[in-house]
Amino acid sequence: MPNKRGRDSANKAEQNRGINAEWHKAHKMPKNPTITQRVAWHTEHAKHCACREMTPKIREMIATHIAASKPRRACAPKKPARR
Ligand SMILES: [Zn+2]
């Protein structure tokens, strides 16, 4: 094994636990993000980048947000179709 590890692999994204630097460049978090923005950011971030895990707090925030934004099935009145 002539190659010491380092130089070859350090070139790529391996050095930072799989951070997707390009994604981060393109998706910066706004300075004062709304919950909607944060939820959207973290949801997308989890899909595209693995530099950090979602904290339980963020998961909770997302779950709460999704629950709040979904209309309730039972009480949603059906509008009659237009004619
Ligand atoms: Zn990341």
Confidence of residue 76 (pLDDT cuts 50, 70, 90): low
76 alpha carbon – ligand 1 mean position (Å): 38
12 alpha carbon – ligand 1 mean position (Å): 15
Instruction: Give the pLDDT confidence of 57-70 residue by residue, as tens digits.
Output: 999 999 999 899 88
Angular region, 76: left φ>0, alpha ψ -120 to 50, beta rest: beta
25 alpha carbon – ligand 1 mean position (Å): 10
10/28 Cα distance (integer angstroms): 24
Instruction: Give the pLDDT confidence of 16-59 residue by residue, as tens digits.
Output: 568 999 999 999 999 999 999 999 999 999 999 999 989 999 99
pLDDT of residue 74: 66
Residue 29 CB partners (closer than 8 Å, separation 6+)? 37, 38, 41
Q: Where are the domains of the chain?
A: 22-69
